[in-house]
Amino acid sequence: MLVLLILHLLAALVAPLLVRWWGPRACYPLALAPAAAFGWALARTPAVDDGGAVVETYPWIGQLGLELALRLTTLSWLMTLLVGGVGALVLVYSAHYFRRESRGVARFAAVLVAFAGAMLGLVLADDLLLIYVCWELTTIFSYLLIGHSTERRSSRWAAAQALTVTTFGGLAMLVGFLMLGGHAGSYRWSAITAAELPGGAYLVTAVVLILVGALSKSALLPFNSWLPVAMAAPTPVSAYLHAAAMVKAGVYLIGLLAPVLATVGPWRPVVVVTGLATMLLGGWAALRQTDLKLLLAYGTVSQLGLLVVVVGAGTPDAALAGAAMLLAHALFKAALFLVVGIIDHGAGTRDLRELSGLGRRAPLLAAVALLAAASMAGLPPLVGFVAKEAVLAAFTDQPVVLAVLVAGTALTVAYSARFCWGAFATRAGVEPTTVGRIAAPMLVPPALLAGVGLVAGPAAGILDGLFRPYAELFGEVGKDLALWHGLTPALGLSALAVAGGAAVHALRGPLTPVLARLRSPVSGNQGYEWVTRRFDRLAIEVTGATQRGSLPQYLGTILLALVVVSGGAMLAARPWRHRIALWDTPLQVVVVAVIAVAAVLAVGARRRLTAMLLVGMTGYGSAMLFVLYGAPDLALTQFLVETATIAVFVLVLRRLPERFSARPLRRSRWVRRAIGVSVGAVTAGLALAAAGARRDPTISDAFPQLAVSEGYGRNVVNVTLVDIRAWDTMGELAVLVVAATGVASLVFERSRTGPRPQRPEPPTRAQRPGRPVWLRGGATLHERHRSIVLEVVTRLIFHTVIVVSLFLLFSGHNAPGGGFAGGLVASLGLAVRYLAGGRYELAEAAPIGAGTVLGAGLAVSVGTGVVALLAGGSVLQSARIDLSLPVLGEFYLVTSLFFDIGVYLVVVGLVLDILRSLGTEVDRHIEAAGRSGGGLVVDKRGSP
Amino acid sequence: MTGGGAGPTLVLVVAVGVLVASGVSLLLERSLTRILLGVILLSNGVNLLILLSGRSGAAPVVGAAPGGTLSDALPQAMVLTAIVITFGFTAFLLAVSYRSWYLTGDDEVPDDIEDRQIVRQAERNEVTTADLGGEGPDADPEQVDPEPPRRRPRRGDGPG
């Protein structure tokens, strides 16, 4: 069975290709997929006709206990035959329905085959969750098929409505499935039937939810409105989805579950009431239609109502009748849809007021249609008659239901007559319709379907034997399927219905105003529209109320939540209980005082530079606190970062206005400060609470010992970064690379990988021979921007700085330092080169792309981890290599040094990228703006 | 660098509070530069907060001090990472403010235009037309149940 599903999938995948080669004719080879399913099911007939089952299971998602469980029983065998057989015929039909130049045929063919596969999966699945997955797949494919004419608004609307309604039902059904499966401990339907059912309201809820899904899929009240609207689809789609396959999914599900669930409280009332009401309303509405396709659509709604009543009734006789009806309906309704398609295709209209004389001009077509319609009306000796007899016979003990069924059947007879009359009668005053030559492959499928209906009637005995195993799931079967039962009440009622239907059709003239007036006051469409409008309104109200578009407002809300929630928890912990020291050293007090003053002043500062320097002061103060706390690595990094931050800030601030813009909102300022103070108080309280909250010894107690034994280093912080928690560092490196890329892409208008700036003029040495050149890029700067002192100092210290950075890198394993600190020092060296000599000097100092450095750093770090893995260790595990060199003597190397080198490179690359972007590139912007007389205009050509 | 085993002190807790309070006040501003400065202040405060979760003591270098007196290395490693990430973030936000200035001549964060539009719609009790796929099935006379033209509620500000 899985092979069949895969076959459909493959066919769907190659369909676009085939259509490109062969046009709509590609549907012929594609029809092989559903035909294979048909043939396979036919070959399995002996296996299921004695009540047996064909079972296949494949492991799928082991953790969820989910497997691909497929099971072929009588009901699914019947559905497989219908899905495969009608599917193949519809594809053959489609090969001629579409013209070569029609748009979207490739998508149509692919989706139709995929739909056939999903439908096949649905009827073969034994697992409720698998049923759900296939169910939703059919919903999605039907969305694509209904919306075939993407350029037509009505088509898109119809597709969206079908999708919305059936997905809603599908979700309800899923919940029902989960409830059932959760209780039984298995989602295999065959296992659930064996398990004990849950009791009471739990089961009732589950059943109602599942019924909502089934009824919405089969377009029963109150979900019926989507089906007539879905007639916007091409006719082959209507024939397949809305007659034979998809709408039958709900009926199938009801039929599958009925043997077990029909006895549950609400099942029968829901199924019978909605089914009968749908049958009557659909039949009545069908009499009103002038569009033949819509007539059939409402007829389908009516028949689905009948099917749901019969299949859901839960008695053996009804089940037998239901199976026969399922078959009969698929045969005649698909045939009739295909006939309408031929008329529409040939005559260009399917409005019965514009058709005339078609019966005489296309006798073969008329014969096929009459045969199918007679089956629909339930005339002997067709299969429709057999099914209808069985239905009426099954309900003889329920007079009310029976009466409604007879009335509904009469309506069916009436609209069947209306269909034939509408399509083929000759109308006075209407120009005779011409349909041209009908291609044989278009006529054969409906003829075949109608013919099977003719053959199956007399062969009712065989059908009886085939369907009996399904009916026996409900108990002892009393009646049988046959063309002739003798003079039974059912026969009399049948005759009554035919007579009534004929009378209604004969009285169609006088009935017209009644038909137009007598209708449900609220159409399903209005209901759907009302609901969707309400949802839209609700969404807009909620969004409008919560999403005001103001960043400070959002942040304020989040922070207030922090104050309330965390603040409450903090107060509950009563942090003031903890007695902690005022200070470790009086120096702490001094530093904190400086930090506090700087922070508060920064809030009120009006100039950007002032605010930035004050904030920088808090950074340096933090570094001091780190020193006092016993964290020299942190202090070193914080000092370096703070310096680099100030340098980067200055690069940008030279472009921004000197002062912050004046803020008129004085009132909100106090709100902001109030929020700030409360968040600060809560955070401080949390710090206090956390101080006293420790109960267990910290895991880092073991770190010093681990650092020496596993990481071969004495600086615990560095070993933590490059070994114990190296994965964190790896993640951080990735973040830094992303940040660098982000900076560059915000500033560069084009790729940053272009040529680096080159000095425009020859080296200055040639200009002034004899004088030493301190920085070669310096000469490119404007005289007013040059500082010879800075150039000299830079020249003198740059190499020292680089050596120091390397020293920090290499010694970091055993003493404060490491890749971060080393990289930052080197970066500051580069920054100084840039500040002293301008962008050409930077290019001299680092004649390599920032992206290259970043990439190399990341590659080295990752490579270290990979090498450790290849060497048989775990990722990023350290190893110690003892070396002996002639001059240096004995020393050892730890492999995590290479990881640290990667860190170093990434940090250098980050700063280089920032200098290139916010330095070099912004320089160019400034120069371009200067050339064009100020403003924001920038030279787009990008030449430096 | 006092004796090992000491936890946070009150002045440090105060420092955390002041840094976070000033940072949040700036964060709620509209100028990107101020927001960025707020972020930096905030992260200085939070870094300190994280550091306080470990004990203070001698520098965590094995051999430099007796084993029990070392400060806690784990929060230090975390904070070290945080410091460098803040630097990358700062650079990124600076680039954003530069970009903002470059495009609009200012670095203020305006209200989100689409959000404001929805707020206006909510005030006027409207529905977006696009969501419903337009006019509904009645737009195509062939596709619907023929019936006397019924009064349908007009939707929002449709075209015309």
Nearest to A219 by CA among A239, A238, A246: A246
Same domain? A295 vs A439 = yes
Angstrom distance (rounded) from CA A134 to CA A130: 6
Q: Which of A659, A683, A713 is the last residue of a domain?
A: A659
Contact indicator for A616, A731 with CB cutoff of 8 Å: no
Same domain? A653 vs A733 = no
Q: Which A positions 898-917 lie with beta carbon below 8 A of chain B? A: 907, 910, 914, 917
Neighbours of A936 (CB within 10 A): 13
Please give the full DSSP string across A844-876, using - where no structure is assigned.
HH--S-HHHHHHHHHHHHHHHHHHHHHTTS-TT
Angstrom distance (rounded) from CA A850 to CA A842: 11
Rounded to a whole number, what is the distance in Å from the CA of B159 to chain A's nearest CA? Answer: 15
Q: Judge: B123–A537 Cβ closer than 8 Å, yes or no.
A: no
Neighbours of A782 (CB within 10 A): 7
State the angle between helix axes of A489-506 and A399-424 in degrees (0 to 180), rounded to the nearest 10: 40
Q: Judge: B10–A703 Cβ closer than 8 Å, yes or no.
A: no
Both tokens of A576, joined, read 């003031």
Same domain? A496 vs A590 = no
Same domain? A475 vs A600 = no
Answer yes or no: is A289 within a domain: yes
Q: Using 50 as the pLDDT threshold, list the residues of chain A that sit under it.
A: 761-767, 933-944
Give every CB contact of residue A154 below 8 A, 6+ residues apart in sequence. Answer: A232, B136, B137, B139, B140, B143
Angstrom distance (rounded) from CA A298 to CA A336: 13
Confidence of residue B145 (pLDDT cuts 50, 70, 90): very low
Residue A58 dihedral angles phi and psi, to the nearest 5°: -130, 140
| Total domains present in chain A | 3
Chains A and B form CB pairs within 8 A to the count of 417
Segments forming the whole domain that contains residue A804: 705-931
CA distances from A790 to A331, A524, A774, A806, A827 (A): 94, 82, 10, 23, 17
Answer yes or no: is A850 within a domain: yes
Residue A550 is classified by DSSP as: -
> Is A652 part of the contact surface with chain B (CB cutoff 8 Å)?
yes
Q: Which residue of A has its CA nearest to B30?
A: A552
Q: Judge: A536–B131 Cβ closer than 8 Å, yes or no.
A: yes
Residue A315 dihedral angles phi and psi, to the nearest 5°: -115, 155
Answer yes or no: is A409 within a domain: yes
Q: Which of B10, B53, B115 to mutate to test the interface with A (most CBs of A within 10 A)?
A: B10
Rounded to a whole number, what is the distance in Å from the CA of B116 to chain A's nearest CA? Answer: 6
Angstrom distance (rounded) from CA B39 to CA B20: 9
Residue A772 is classified by DSSP as: P
Indicate the SS3 state at residue A55. Answer: strand
Q: Which A positions 270-289 lie with beta carbon below 8 A of chain B? A: 285, 288-289
- Residue pointed to by tokens 């998809």: A246
Please report the pLDDT score of residue B146 as a whole number. 38
DSSP element (H, E) containing A178: helix A153-184
The whole-number average pLDDT for the span B121-147 is 52
Please report the pLDDT score of residue A665 as a whole number. 61
Answer yes or no: is A532 within a domain: no
> Is A599 part of the contact surface with chain B (CB cutoff 8 Å)?
yes
Q: Judge: B41–A602 Cβ closer than 8 Å, yes or no.
A: yes
Answer yes or no: is A130 within a domain: no
* Residue A132 burial class via C-beta count within 10 angstroms: exposed 0-12, middle 13-18, buried 19 and up: buried
Q: Which of A629, A644, A659 is the last residue of a domain?
A: A659
Rounded to a whole number, what is the distance in Å from the CA of B5 to chain A's nearest CA? Answer: 11
Q: A104 has which bridge partners?
A: none
Please report the pLDDT score of residue A770 as a whole number. 53
Strand A66-72 versus strand A54-61 pairing type: antiparallel
Give the gyration radius of chain A's Cα atoms: 41
Residue A125 is classified by DSSP as: B
Contact indicator for A938, A749 with CB cutoff of 8 Å: yes
Answer yes or no: is A652 within a domain: yes
Using the predicted structure, report yes or no on whether residue B135 has a pLDDT greater than 50: no
Q: Judge: B98–A922 Cβ closer than 8 Å, yes or no.
A: yes
Answer yes or no: is A586 within a domain: yes
Question: What is the pTM for the complete model shown?
Answer: 0.69
Q: Which of B69, B94, B111 to mutate to test the interface with A (most CBs of A within 10 A)?
A: B94
Q: Which of A292, A629, A937 to mutate to test the interface with B (most CBs of B within 10 A)?
A: A629
Q: Judge: B9–A580 Cβ closer than 8 Å, yes or no.
A: yes
Residue A715 is classified by DSSP as: B
Same domain? A835 vs A907 = yes
Q: Which of B1, B2, B11, B47 to mutate to test the interface with A (most CBs of A within 10 A)?
A: B11
pLDDT tens readout for residues A215-241? 999 988 888 888 888 888 899 999 998
Same domain? A587 vs A477 = no
Angstrom distance (rounded) from CA A805 to CA A810: 9
The amino acid sitting at A689 is A
Angstrom distance (rounded) from CA A508 to CA A298: 17
Interior CA angle at A126 toward A122 and A128, to 5°?
75
B64 compared with B152, residue with greater pLDDT: B64
Beta strand residue intervals within A691-731, DSSP E: none
pLDDT tens readout for residues B4-16? 446 688 899 999 9
In order of start, what are the domains of chain B with their CATH numbers? 10-104 (1.10.287), 116-143 (no CATH)
Which of left, alpha, beta for A123 (phi over 0: left; psi -120 to 50: alpha)? Answer: alpha
Answer yes or no: is A808 within a domain: yes
Same domain? A653 vs A713 = no
Same domain? A891 vs A768 = yes
Contact indicator for A472, A316 with CB cutoff of 8 Å: yes
Q: Judge: B73–A581 Cβ closer than 8 Å, yes or no.
A: no
Q: Judge: A725–B31 Cβ closer than 8 Å, yes or no.
A: no
Angstrom distance (rounded) from CA A758 to CA A760: 6
Same domain? A653 vs A759 = no
Residue in B48, B81, B120 nearest the CB of A729: B81
Residue A222, preceding bond cis, omega within 30 degrees? yes
> Is A310 part of the contact surface with chain B (CB cutoff 8 Å)?
no
Both tokens of A461, joined, read 């005995």
Same domain? A868 vs A731 = yes
Same domain? A379 vs A453 = yes
CA distances from A806 to A243, A610, A803, A820, A834 (A): 78, 34, 5, 11, 20
Q: Which A positions 203-232 lie with beta carbon below 8 A of chain B? A: 228-229, 231-232
Please report the pLDDT score of residue B157 as a whole number. 38
What is the ipTM for the molecules in this complex? Answer: 0.80
Q: Which of A485, A503, A520 is the last residue of a domain?
A: A520
> Is A608 part of the contact surface with chain B (CB cutoff 8 Å)?
yes
Q: Which residue of A has its CA nearest to B24?
A: A676
Residue B146, preceding bond cis, omega within 30 degrees? no
Nearest to A866 by CA among A839, A898, A833, A890: A898
Q: Which A positions 423-452 lie with beta carbon below 8 A of chain B? A: none
Please report the pLDDT score of residue B152 as a whole number. 41
Same domain? A649 vs A766 = no
Residue in B25, B30, B59 nearest the CB of A630: B59
Q: Judge: A532–B118 Cβ closer than 8 Å, yes or no.
A: no
Give every CB contact of residue B53 below 8 A, 6+ residues apart in sequence. Answer: A690, A691, B72, B75
Residue A59 dihedral angles phi and psi, to the nearest 5°: -65, 140
